[in-house]
Amino acid sequence: MTVRVMLVAPALGAELREARFGDDLPLTDAELAPVRTLAAPRADRVLAAPSPRCGQSARALGLTPEDEPALADLDAGSWRGRRIDELASSAPQLISSWLSDPGFAPPGGESVCTLLARVGSWLDALPADTGRLLAVAEPAAVRAAVVHALALPPAAFWRLDVTPLTATTLSGRAGRWNLRCGAPLTARQLP
């Protein structure tokens, strides 16, 4: 049986706009306004990463998600809340290592390889009878799912962009996935 996993990137919040390492800030009403105009794809089950922006984005789409910790953002450890340009000027070697070595982890955080393993294990463990699964997931988790599903090298993680409020769909099953990238969500039908 084919599984369809639709990974929806959450609304754009301040931390993404500012290139700030995840500090789990909630979205403002203004940031959620565009989400409320969109319709979620039909799904048999709905999940969301445990961050406020993913849960809020799911609820603004009219969904009632279950939390899925496997779809959480890359753990930035002691870099949490800091801007990448700030770290690049104070610790350029660390940022360079982080961007070039998928095995490098920020102090107290996780590496891209660890994220790939976490998301890949979740994807591979989905039962064949899952049907249509929709998950509002952190952009890093979406990239990790694509890298894992297509058996790309870990370094490809940094070469993938995930646009807010788009759906990336994987269909198939463990070991054999097809990909549909970045489809925009459609506008809600007015009554």
Q: How far is CA 107 from CA 76, 77, 79, 97, 140, in A?
A: 8, 6, 7, 12, 18
Handedness of CA 60, 160, 140, 143 (dihedral sign): positive
pTM attached to this predicted model: 0.94
Q: Under a CB-based contact definition with an 8 Å cutoff, are residues 40 and 16 in contact?
A: no
Q: Which pair of structure tokens corresponds to residue 99?
A: 């961007």
Q: Give the pLDDT confidence score for residue 148 in this predicted structure.
A: 97
If one counts the domains in the chain, the total is 1
- Consecutive 10-residue runs of the chain (191 residues): their mean pLDDT? 92 87 87 95 96 96 97 95 93 94 97 98 93 96 97 96 95 87 81 63
φ/ψ of residue 187, rounded to 5: -70, 145
The amino acid at residue 111 is S
Q: Give the pLDDT confidence score for residue 14 in this predicted structure.
A: 86
φ/ψ of residue 63, rounded to 5: -105, 160
171's enclosing H/E stretch is: strand 166-173
Write the CATH number for 44: 3.40.50.1240
Structural domain containing residue 60 = 3-187
Quote the CA–CA distance of 13 and 105 in Å, as a whole number. Answer: 24
SS3 assignment, position 79: helix
